[in-house]
Amino acid sequence: MKVDYIIVGLGLAGLAFVEQLIKNNKTFIVFENNSQTSSSVASGTYNPVIVKRFTPVWNGHEQIEYAMPFYNKIEERFNEDFDTKFSARKVFNSVADQNNWFEASDKPKLSLYMNPQILRDKIKGVIGVHGFGELIRTGRIDTKKLVERYRLFLKEQNLMKYSKFEYDDLYIKDENVQYKNIESGRIVFCEGFGIKSNPYFNYLPLNGTKGEIITIKAPELKIDFMLKSSVFVLPLGNDLYKVGATFNREDKTQTITEEGKKELLEKLQKTITVPFSIVDQTAGIRPTVRDRRPLVGVHPKYSKLSVLNGFGSRGVMIAPTVANNLYNHLENGQQLDKEINIERFQKLFTN
């Protein structure tokens, strides 16, 4: 079998790169073994404002402008909805919060997404003594539904293998790579936290941060927007809400914990006052990087090996743009954005 690309991993990163390959009529095969679950447990929200500090997300506006048509095209292909539009409301904790909101909403990069008016109406079941700030042009991609549907699509086309990628079976030549019975022009690793087991890219400083999320049923909580306080409360429909998320830098397992649930419950009880029940709990490892920028680029020694990783908690926004950048770098010689290029960690690489 001969292809242009082997893709290892099909979360948001792998999916975004595959879209580039399809658009450009490249042949490929994907390897996925479900060992990483960050895309399937992610909230999937897109919002270019860091609400803790009222500052813009890195390249947030540009990422959203590229990402929305990207996801809309996939929706049209499958005749399914993955994108849900809604506003978000930030709970203010003080008058100082309000003042900071006013100041931030006047800045060019933020004014498109921040309503400058303070919302003071009481919301049944929600604690908001100092009112709320409204974020607009935000929403959610149902990442679990999207990735599952995309995998089914690839499986139907015989373009996906549900098996662990065996690094020992990879033979790297000057002109291409050989993996078992597959000859490929290039290979792109999109493994999320699984990169820690990759002998070619495990030198990169991907730390990984565990996140846990609970899903609650709260029939009396009638909100159709995302509530952001010390936790987020995300409406799913049918009185169901996602609540998250924890940030644990020590635990690298994908196992749900009582500690994680307790933390979320304590914060949730300071956010809403209506009764609720827990119906689900999930956990995953976010592929986080110490400088909070993606890990994208070509291996320092083997030019046929590339990596697409390190999206943290904003994969929905970041993936389409950087996948496009990597593809054009590999195929058309376009320069990679310096902030994402793995060359910035060249000193960490040893032969």
pLDDT tens for each residue of 134-149: 999 999 999 999 999 9
pLDDT of 40 strictly over 60: no
Query: 227 and 328: one domain?
Result: no
Q: Are 65 and 196 in contact (CB under 8 A)?
A: no
pLDDT value at residue 37? 59
Banded pLDDT at 36 (limits 50, 70, 90): low
Whether 177 is covered by a domain: the verdict is yes
Query: 219 and 278: one domain?
Result: yes
H helix runs in the chain, sequence order? 12-23, 38-41, 60-78, 95-104, 108-111, 143-156, 258-268, 315-332
Query: 196 and 294: one domain?
Result: yes
Whether 96 is covered by a domain: the verdict is no
Q: State the CATH number of the domain containing residue 191.
A: 3.50.50.60
3-state secondary structure of 230: coil
Q: Residues 6 or more apart from 275 whose CB is under 8 A from it?
A: 218, 220
Query: 226 and 242: one domain?
Result: yes
What's the pLDDT tens digit per position in 48-88? 999 888 999 999 999 999 999 999 999 999 999 999 999 99
pLDDT of 290 strictly over 90: no
Query: 154 and 33: one domain?
Result: yes
Whether 342 is covered by a domain: the verdict is yes
Q: Are 146 and 15 in contact (CB under 8 A)?
A: yes
Whether 235 is covered by a domain: the verdict is yes
Whole-number Å distance between alpha carbons of 338 and 314: 19
Query: 316 and 332: one domain?
Result: yes
Interval 259-268 mean pLDDT: 96
Banded pLDDT at 318 (limits 50, 70, 90): very high
Whole-number Å distance between alpha carbons of 101 and 115: 9
For the chain, what is the mean pLDDT? 94
Interval 261-274 mean pLDDT: 96
Query: 201 and 320: one domain?
Result: yes
Q: How many residues in the chain?
A: 351
pLDDT value at residue 281? 95
Whole-number Å distance between alpha carbons of 31 and 4: 14
pLDDT of 299 strictly over 60: yes
Answer with the one of 246, 261, 284 that is the final residue of a domain: 284
Answer with the one of 284, 312, 327 that is the final residue of a domain: 284
Whether 62 is covered by a domain: the verdict is no
Residue linked to tokens 């959610």: 140
Interval 285-292 mean pLDDT: 90
Domain that holds residue 248: 209-284
Q: State the CATH number of the domain containing residue 229.
A: 3.30.9.10
Banded pLDDT at 340 (limits 50, 70, 90): very high
Interval 305-321 mean pLDDT: 94
Whether 18 is covered by a domain: the verdict is yes
Query: 176 and 302: one domain?
Result: yes
Buried b (16+ CB within 10 A) or exposed e, 119-147: eeeebebbebeebbbbbebbbbbbbbebb
Query: 223 and 271: one domain?
Result: yes
Query: 225 and 252: one domain?
Result: yes
Model pTM score: 0.94
Answer with the one of 243, 262, 284 that is the final residue of a domain: 284
To the nearest 10°, the Cα dihedral for 241, 242, 243, 245?
Answer: -170
Query: 244 and 177: one domain?
Result: no
pLDDT value at residue 38? 62
Q: Are 18 and 74 in contact (CB under 8 A)?
A: no
Percent of the chain with pLDDT over 90: 89
Whole-number Å distance between alpha carbons of 38 and 170: 26
Percent of the chain with pLDDT over 70: 97
Query: 193 and 294: one domain?
Result: yes
Whether 122 is covered by a domain: the verdict is no
Whether 294 is covered by a domain: the verdict is yes
Give the chain's domain count: 2
